Structure 1
Amino acid sequence: MEGSRIFFLPFFLVVLFYVLATTAEVHVFNGDNGLSISLPRGTDHIGKWNDTSSAAVNILGDDDDRECSYYHKLNHSEQCAFIRNNSDCHIDDGFINYLEFVFCRFPKQLIPLAFVFLFIWLIFLFVSLGVTAEDFFCPALTAISRTMKLNQSIAGVTFLAFGNGAPDIFSAIAAISNAKEGDAGLAIGALFGAGVFVTTVVAGSIAVTHPFKLAERPFLRDVVFYIGAAFWTFTILYRRQIVLAEAIGFIGLYVGYVLVVLIGRKVYEIQRKRQQSQPMRIPVGSPSINTEGGVSSNYGSVNDHDPHVNQESYMHSSTNHSVKGVLEASDQLAIAAAVGLPAPRRAPSVSQMGPQGDNSVDDGFMTPLLAGFARRYEEEQEEHSAIANLFIALNPVDSENWKRKSIFGKAYEIFKLPIQFMLQLTVPIVDYDEDRHGWNQLLNVLQCITGPMFCLGVTKAVSVHIHGNLYLWELMLPLCVILAIVIFITSKRDSHPVYHFLFPYLGFLVSVLWIYSIANEIVNLLQMFGVQFSLSTEVLGLTLLAWGNSIGDLVSDITVAKQGFPRMAIAACFGGPLFNMLLGIGISCTIAAIRNDGVFHVSFSQLQMVLAGGLGVSLLSSLFFMLCTRFNATRIYGFYLYALYLGFLVIALLTESKVIKW
């Protein structure tokens, strides 16, 4: 197929990056002073450094106490040695020191090209973060919730919500873990900046795309909780410290929010069952779809009475099976909307439903057409050999839909191809909706080796000594190989083994480490851009990091609104950032407080005050507007939110540039 032609592209990209990153170096060592300097090959400064090594030591001797930005005042020939010897320029987590990469690997003339390359690398990291969370982390959590037999409500507000907010939460953890002297501006900027962006630009886009009437109680609940969380965060920043009890309190507030959602949902279900138990006469005529995506009859819109109900598949039915299937789908979408999750990407459309409104694939019932496709797929799978199935599973390109993709879609497939391949190689996926639950014997056996070894590498435990000259990886590798052989012997190719339910836990662990390592690289790269271009971490957080983590919300929520679910999309605009703030600050500050004897000291700046004020104005103005318009989200409301975000961004940048002083 056409997609198979670019199968080996990830290897080419990896080799290209390796060549750029491992440019041969010339090492100069001065025995008297103990100075080690590394210069790019091809420069003519070797003799100069040998002759002036003592002068270099004099320049750098007291610079360990200087800030990293001091390298701007040095000549290019001195910058590399300063960056390598200054502790403020070193990274705590991550794998690449990007300042060292730029100023020690590239000659002066190519430094602008290096920054262009790193900006493209930043975009790739954001894409990698989203792909890992959406395609690997969330499926692992879903499978775990199935194996633990959790009901949909509990799974929705815990596992699935955590999977949806994983990029923001792990970015906050990485930013606060890498914070120097309490400078958590990157995490604060990202959480507040993303909150302002989503509650203004994304919410405004939904209102402009599809004007609608909000569900009153869920909106009021989310806004009130969000205002409380934002005010609490601002109070902590203003006091410049957070104690362990306060950090745990953020997690406790999230637990309280979950209880409110679940209790409210339970009360509503009781009321709905009472209404359904009463006999109702259905007038002659088929139901129609109203303009808000809900199902209406001569009695009016269902959505007017039930803001939580599935606006797509809730229909009156005379069969018990139809009612059961519809209510299950309704519970899924209701919980998703309540906690700010995006609408399920595979939600059934009305055209896909049976004459009674029942989802044709619910509870294992399939139409003859789908059953025919399933049988054909099984026959094709049986025709392939085990090796062929392995390579098909490892193919990072969507070959089946390649020809139907647009140019942008094909470019995106190629762009994310390297990370997609690495994830498929290391992260096992269990999907109970697929044939054999996604079991691929050779691939899953291989992942029992690649997954644990990746965990060792990303946690930098490869070089850990166990005893004498025995390294940890030398012990783990044969154990993983033995485990893989046992699984291969005790499993069959055409059916999943009884212990297949354990693979989601391995997938969860590996995907968590993937997300955390990618988030660390994003944080390190943004900090490098801040030092190079003299930008504060708050500005980088409210712009690049917030935009990078929120662009997916913008696209998915607008798509959901266009499909006729504006209420669900607007619920995600307030419930999602609330979840990210509570757990992002709660988890990260709890870890930081434990590391610092129960108290984590944070810095406070004028820009953080602007961030908190911008989010407060956004939430309070939305609340006031909805109360005045009786919860009607009009296009005027959307354009107002656009103007509000533009004004917020201008004030924030003017504050950063010291034009506005508070």
Structure 2
Amino acid sequence: MASLPYTAAACASVRADPAPGLLNYAAVHSCLLRADRRLSLPILALLLLLHFRFLAVAAGAHFSPAVSRLASRLRLSPSMAAVTLLALGNGAPDAFASAAALRGEGGLPRAGLAAILSAGAFVSAFVVGAVSLIAAPFAVPPASFTRDVFLYLVAASALFYIYLSAEIFLWQAVGLVLFYVFFVGLVFYMDLGAAGKAVSSAEPETTANGMGRAAMDLPVSVEHQKQRKASLWTVLTKQVTRVWDWPVTFLLKLTIPSTLPSEWNKFYICANICLCPLILLYSFSSFIPLDSRIVFLLPQIRFPLWSVVLLVSFCLALSHFRFEKESPETENIASTLISFVMSVFWISTMAGELLNCLAAIGVIMDLPPAILGMTVLAWGNSVGDLVADVALAKNGQPTIAIAGCFAGPMFNMLVGLGTALVMQTAGVYPKAFVLEFHVGIVVAFVFLLLSLMATLLVVTWARFRVPRFWGYCLMGLYILFTIVSIAIASSSG
């Protein structure tokens, strides 16, 4: 009972601060669990696993199929799908967060730049390594792969040069944004001649079917004995997984529309019509507050915006349930687009929740802020890219996944960071905006450039096939970068 005064003070302080996400993990520890580490750490670890599972299901069952179908319907090449669909889906939330940090005060500009570079190093090394280990060996288009890595290398080198000069002018910041526009235009121009080629998963499916037939032709006596011994454990594991996945799958089906006519369900479609507008409204709550009062139907009476959206969407869902009798005959591109948008929302939201939960665990375990910044924040900001790209690789789209590993971080650097730098330099024009020097940022630049140059050389040497051993090398390189960065952050503060 001696800990009650401390718990009451801690609870009051965390309740005074608004939660950065859906759940206030600090309040769970200080108020609900009375600051007891023996309860907080297991419960937060369980929530952490739930967030990871949520991310995996959202990316594997919804985001990856939506990207593949949109790319196929729009006849996008893997490169074009990466610089548009994947870059916007994976990069936009991180870009907005980093841009907000760069505009902040109290050391946040350095944190925003460090977050962009740490995320770039994580994706170009660890995520590329993970995709390589899952799908390698696989071939990449020589022209598009060389273009993506080389232009990312040029952009990072230019930003590194600007950073070493300790100042940036308005024309340089505008040039960063225009460079990404040039990159997208170049991708479109190079893919124009191959516009008839659609992204398809037919080849992976054929390979999988072939492997299945080959496996059926093998002698089954030994395998049958093994399966009989493991049958009880397999059934138990499947049941536990099904129970664990049911709430996640149910929630995602309520909020993400199915894109295939064979998966059509009237109840879930009506739930999508009712809930998707509310979720989209929530995602824009930083620009349009949910409780904004507007006049609706009744004059001189102002209703909260969320109630008006809920009423309209509920009426549309009710009418759909009443009049819609049969499933559509063909796939609807509008449903695929909405599925893509909602998948991006859930991946971004759950990545943020994962980040907040990791940060709360780090605070409870009394980890130094420097270690939290170089590990938890960097991993949390990029876990959406990791899950989405790995899901694409597992679904037989490693080419899109690899292209997204370079297009997404380039979008963050040139569009997210570049837009924030344009705002900063425009405020001090015609003078230059001063950049704060830190050795940790220089190290992040060096490791990012090293991983890009090494990947370009190794894949070119392997005749544009990604070898499996290179995945281990890239992961080792990122581990080395993390160790060096933590050592620098701990010593310099």
Q: Which TM-score applies when normalising by structure 2?
A: 0.71
Matches within 5 A, 1:477-496: 477-491=310-324, 493-496=325-328
1:225 is displaced (CA, Å) by 1.7
Identity %: 21
Shift of 1:484: 2.4
Contact 2:83-2:404 at 8 Å conserved across structures? no
SS, match of residue 256 in structure 1:
helix
Alignment of 1:112-261 (within 5 A): 112-140=38-66, 150-153=74-77, 157-158=80-81, 162-163=85-86, 166-167=89-90, 169-174=92-97, 176-177=99-100, 180-181=104-105, 182=109, 183-184=111-112, 185-200=114-129, 202-203=131-132, 205=133, 210=137, 216-235=142-161, 238=164, 249-250=175-176, 252-261=178-187
**Distance across 1 between alignment mates of 2:208 and 2:248:** 36
Cα 1:99–1:142 change in 2 (3 A) is same
Q: Quick check: 1:133–1:515 contact (8 Å CA) kept in 2? A: yes
Separation in 2, partners of 1:605, 1:486: 59
What secondary structure, in the 3-state scheme, does the structure 1 residue paired with 2:205 have? coil
Q: How does 1:331-350 map to 2 (within 5 A)?
A: 331-332=198-199, 347-349=205-207
Secondary structure at the counterpart of residue 95 of structure 1: coil
Q: Structure 1 residues 596, 605: CA separation in 2 closer, same or farther (over 3 Å shift)?
A: same
Residue type matched to 1:80 in 2?
C
Structure 2 partner of 1:424: 253
The one of 579, 583, 588 equivalent to 2:407 is 579
- Please give the alpha-carbon distance, in whole angstroms, between the structure 1 residues aligned to 2:246 and 2:145: 39
| Residues 628-637 or 643-652, more deviating | 628-637
Matched, 1:533 2:367: yes
Contact 1:200 1:645 (8 Å CA) reproduced: no
Closer/same/farther in 2, CA of residues 236 and 482 from structure 1, 3 Å limit: farther
1:191–1:111 distance in 2 versus 1, CA, 3 Å: same
User: What is the Cα-based RMSD across aligned positions, in Å?
Assistant: 4.7
Structure 2 equivalent of residue 293 of structure 1: none
More helix by share: 2
Q: Which runs of 5+ in 1 are unaligned?
A: 1-42, 49-74, 271-327, 334-342, 354-401, 561-567
Cα gap change, 1:106 to 1:503, in 2 (>3 Å): same
| Whole-angstrom CA distance in 1 between matches of 2:341 and 2:419 | 19
Deviating more after overlay: 523-532 vs 616-625 = 523-532
- Partners of 1:213 and 1:453 lie apart in 2 by 42
Partner residue of 1:98? 25
Q: Which residue of 2 aligns with 1:440?
A: 265
Counterpart AA for 1:190:
A
Structure 2, unmatched stretches of 5+, are 212-230, 296-300, 428-432
Offset at residue 424 of structure 1 (A): 0.6
Shift of 1:528: 3.9
- The corresponding residue for 1:463 is 291
Cα deviation code 1:553-609 (max 9, x no counterpart):
45764896xxxxxxx84x557522211112223443366568768569876533222
> What is the CA-CA distance between 1:214 and the residue it aligns to?
6.9
Q: Distance in 1 between matches of 2:169 and 2:42?
A: 41
Question: Could you give the per-residue CA deviations for residues 143-175 of structure 1, whole angstroms, max 9, x where no partner exists?
Answer: 6677xx63333x861489524873454244345
Which SS does the other structure have where 1:481 is aligned? helix
Measured in 2, the distance between the counterparts of 1:497 and 1:551 equals 32
Q: Is the 8 A contact 1:175 1:520 kept in 2?
A: no
Quote how far apart the aligned CAs of 1:615 are.
1.9
Deviation at 1:533, TM superposition (A): 1.9
Say which SS state the counterpart of residue 470 (structure 1) adopts. Answer: strand
User: Counterparts of 1:642 and 1:265 in 2: how far apart (Å)?
Assistant: 31
One of 332, 343, 346 as aligned partner of 1:514: 346
Q: Which string of whole-angstrom CA distances, capped at 9 and with x for unpartnered residues, describes residues 493-550 of structure 1?
A: 2243999664445445544443443343234334445655223323324445546742
Distance in 1 separating the partners of 2:283 and 2:10 = 29
User: CA 1:624 to 1:583, structure 2 compared with 1: closer, same or farther past 3 Å?
Assistant: closer
Contact 1:195 1:577 in 2 (8 A): yes
Contact preservation (8 Å) 1:427, 1:506: yes
- Is the CA contact (8 Å cut-off) linking 2:176 and 2:418 kept in structure 1? no
Q: 2:275 aligns with which of 450, 461, 467?
A: 450
- Which residue does the alignment assign to 2:356? 524
In structure 2, the partner of 1:609 is: 442
Question: In structure 2, what residue type is equivalent to 1:257?
Answer: F
- Cα distance, 1:196–1:486 mapped onto 2, change above 3 Å: same
Q: What secondary structure sits across from 1:621 in the alignment? A: helix
Q: Matches of 2:242 and 2:169 in 1, distance apart?
A: 45
- Cα–Cα, structure 1 residues 596 and 632, in superposed 2: closer, same or farther, change >3 Å? closer
Residue pair 1:126, 1:549 contacting (<8 A) in 2 also: no
Q: By how many angstroms is 1:331 displaced?
A: 4.2
Number of residue pairs aligned between Structure 1 and Structure 2: 451
- C-alpha distance in 2 between matches for 1:246 and 1:487: 52
Higher-Rg member (1/2): 1
8 Å CA contact retained: 2:179, 2:414:
no
